[in-house]
Copies of this chain bind each other. A is one copy, B any other.
Amino acid sequence: MKFTINQREMIYALNILTRAISTKTTMEILKGIFIEAKANHLTMKTNDLSMSIIIEIPALVEEEGVTVIESYLFNDIIRKLPDDAITIEKKTDHISLICSQSKYKLLMMDDETFPKVPEQTDGVEIVINQSVFSNMIKMTNFAVSRDETRAILTGSLLEVKNNVMKMVSIDGYNIAIKKVVLQDAPDASVIVPGRTLNEIQKIIGYNVDDEISLVIGSNYITFEFDNVKIISKVLEGEYIKYEQVIESEFGIEVDVDNREFYDAIDRAALMANKSRSYIVIFDFEKDQVTISSQSEIGQAKEEVEINNTGKNIRIGFNPNYLMKALRVIEDEELVLRMTSPVRPCFIQPKNNDSYEYYLVPIRINQ
């Protein structure tokens, strides 16, 4: 195997491929990047056993073949090389890399032991704009559970029904739901690992107008865009029946400016986090919410103008959860709906019902 490729092309590929390199694995081969040189292109693969990434890039192939290179050092070297042609050749016991006045010999890993990328045998296809999909992930992924004991919640529900695609994340304290309308999309339902979605969001970026294809099968989901293909396992089991905890009738409805509300919580959180209580108390009155917190070294009190069409309520929240949700909502105005200090608070952009966020309050002494 021998090929020549530009340093920039290789950096582009590595930026994407390294997202399926696990830093914690004890299986050395999973730290490798599989490279196949064929005709006028390379097919490069990484695989962390939960997710595989395959990327095709053009290259000047002098001799076809396959190899696996340890990714960490390879990645570091490529990044520091000049923007020039790199020639990589498989020798009997090592990989040779030459770029300008730089010559490297690198460990060759056993390509026979590189785990096979799974074959997805079933599925329905949905095509969606990359930035729309990226935004769905951004608005829900922060609420994915990190608790491996309830594995199903470490994934997000991705559901298509009657041409509406819904992404739902739940971690026991909060629920985030984002909906988009599709055209002529088949119904489907799958639970995608939160980590897969997180990595995909980083790869496709936020401002890309191209489309991404999702093929949703019973065991795998495949994402395909540009020259990249990502195949991820899906989580097996039934997703939590979250509709049961969501109420549709709220006695209290509050309009508030997102930025002002966020900034006030951000400051009050300093005090709440200092005491490690992580409780901020909200006193919603008619025209004003008072946000307060305390620690052994002080007290914070913030006031923000609101418009409350219901009765007054005193309710406590973990400010750090609340801020995560407010950060992903780009709309200026918010609506908060509440029932009682022990029932979830529902938050939505004022003029946009495609996003729903529910936060469970913290019980406080009245």
A296 CA to B106 CA, complexed, in Å: 9
A interface majority secondary structure? mixed
Contact partners of A81 in chain B: CB under 8 A: 267
Contact partners of A274 in chain B: CB under 8 A: 73
Bits for A270-311, please: 1 = Cβ < 8 Å to B, else 0: 110010000000000000000000011111111110000000
A73-B270, A77-B270, A270-B76 known; A298 vs B82 contact (CB < 8 Å) = no
Segment of A97-105, A327-335, A346-354 in the binding face: A97-105
A73-B271, A297-B107 known; A266 vs B80 contact (CB < 8 Å) = yes
Residue ID in chain B nearest A73 by CB atoms: B274
| Pair B267/A101 contact, Cβ less than 8 Å | no
| Pair B297/A102 contact, Cβ less than 8 Å | no
Residue ID in chain B nearest A94 by CB atoms: B298
Bits for A240-273, please: 1 = Cβ < 8 Å to B, else 0: 0000000000000000000000011011001100
A101-B303, A101-B304 known; A263 vs B82 contact (CB < 8 Å) = yes
| Pair B73/A297 contact, Cβ less than 8 Å | yes
| Pair A263/B105 contact, Cβ less than 8 Å | no
**Copies of this chain, count:** 2
Measured CB to CB, the closest approach of chain B to A219, in angstroms, equals 35
Residue ID in chain B nearest A305 by CB atoms: B101
A105 CA to B302 CA, complexed, in Å: 12
A224 within 8 A of B: no
| Pair A104/B73 contact, Cβ less than 8 Å | no
A125 within 8 A of B: no
| Pair B263/A104 contact, Cβ less than 8 Å | no
A73 CA to B300 CA, complexed, in Å: 11
Contact partners of A298 in chain B: CB under 8 A: 73, 94, 104-107
| Pair B104/A300 contact, Cβ less than 8 Å | yes
Contact partners of A80 in chain B: CB under 8 A: 263, 266-267, 270
A73-B274, A274-B73 known; A300 vs B267 contact (CB < 8 Å) = no
Contact partners of A77 in chain B: CB under 8 A: 267, 270, 300
What are 20 residue pairs bridging A and B, where the CB atoms are less than 8 Å apart in the complex?
A70-B297, A73-B270, A73-B274, A73-B295, A76-B270, A77-B300, A80-B266, A80-B267, A80-B270, A94-B298, A101-B302, A101-B304, A102-B267, A102-B300, A102-B301, A102-B303, A103-B301, A104-B271, A105-B299, A107-B298
